[in-house]
Amino acid sequence: MRLHQLAGIGKHTDGSITRLPFTPQDRQAGLLILSFMKEAGLKTRQDAAGNLIGQWIPEGISGEQAAPVIVGSHYDTVLNGGAFDGCLGLLAAIEAVQSMREAGYVPSCPVYVIGFKDEEGNRFGYGMVGSRSICGRMQPEGLFSRDRDGISLGDAMTAFGLDPSRLNSCRIFPIRAMLELHIEQGKILESQGCTIGIVEGIAGLERHTIRIEGNSAHAGATPMEARQDPVPAMSRWILEITRLARERKHCVATVGSIQTSPGACNIICGSVEFSLDLRSLRDQDRKEIMENMAVFEKQLEWQEHVRIRRWLDQEIPSAPCADGLKSRMEEICKKEGYSFCRLMSGAGHDSMNFSGICPISMIFVPSVGGYSHRKEEFTSMEDCGAGTQVLLEMILAAETF
């Protein structure tokens, strides 16, 4: 099975897989994927970003008909990751196209199968290099991001035999649609007993750093009413944003990092600093939540005798999936007898870079136990097959996009 072959590249003795971009393991995986594309009858090439592209261009296609349907996903992994994240979507796209060709089908528009380079961003801290380049959204400063050995992204690309000065040549436009199959990376499909997830959209994201300053003092000698303790204020802040997120559909808020200072058990903290990761399918929800928090912070400062500061570190808009493609996917699931539900993608994907450029659609299949970004990542053969069948039929419907 192709998935198992690919999983063998970068595999550790404990079963986990590390396949970072612009490494020997990356090159080995790329050669294997190109061989799969050639077996499927595709014309292959690698662009200046390192994306692997398999083209199926029917004879006589020109003009508006020449806008391709793009299908695929990434093939890099996180550190000590699993076999299915990204790779399933890419290999399913190759399988779907090969099945269509063997059945004698001739598409009404070109179909490009793409293995996107460096989606995870684990090596340089700057992800989605391949899909950003194809969409003309690569930021020049991204090339200066560095890995833990001090090697820049641009230098790594050059050493890999690529030319980062030519990233503009990667742009594909126009595009008819972008279709991506992916494991869910959560438990919703499994908990609801569904085979297919019809993704409503990819959540927008914003990350903040929040600092609350109080007054450090002795833990035993300072009465409760005399304290300027930032920790209770932080606790109230977290509870409030949790409440606001819970009130909204397709919205999540996470405080994942907390640092206290001075951080001793017998000293009242002088300050705390913590992170916020806020995601929602509706960008307006994020805006309203942070406006509400600004009002709440003023009250909190007065009530807890602290000072609150907040910085926006990153913001990415949401990427809604096209209504027509979601409806078409629902029709396919009903025809094939696949149980399905609609859900949000809280994780980012290559597809989000295509938002605003062409219609996008994402198909989710279950992750057993919700596992992802770890060696236990697994999706059954039956669910992989169902997802591939839905992807195939979405490609067949390309002329209606």
Task: Single out the residue of 347, 351, 399 nearest to residue 370, CA to CA.
Answer: 347
Give the pLDDT confidence of 352-400 residue by residue, as tens digits: 999 999 999 999 999 999 999 999 999 999 999 999 999 999 999 977 7
Paired tokens of 148: 């833990």
Q: Let me know if 91 is exposed, middle or buried by CB neighbors in 10 A (0-12, 13-18, 19+).
A: buried
Query: 211-243: per-residue pLDDT in tens?
Result: 999 999 999 999 999 999 999 999 999 999 999
Distance CA 32, CA 47 (A): 17
CB 91 within 8 A of CB 3: yes
Q: Please write the tens of the pLDDT for every residue from 18-31.
A: 999 999 999 999 99
pTM, full prediction = 0.91
How far is residue 330's CA from residue 395's CA, in Å, rounded to a whole number? 14
pLDDT for res 63:
64
User: pLDDT averaged over the chain?
Assistant: 96
- C-alpha closest to that of 133 among 150, 116, 108: 116
Which comes out higher in pLDDT, residue 53 or 59? 53
272 strand-pairing partners: 212, 260
354/340 Cα distance (integer angstroms): 24
Does 401 score more than 90 pLDDT?
Answer: no
Percent of the chain with pLDDT over 70: 99
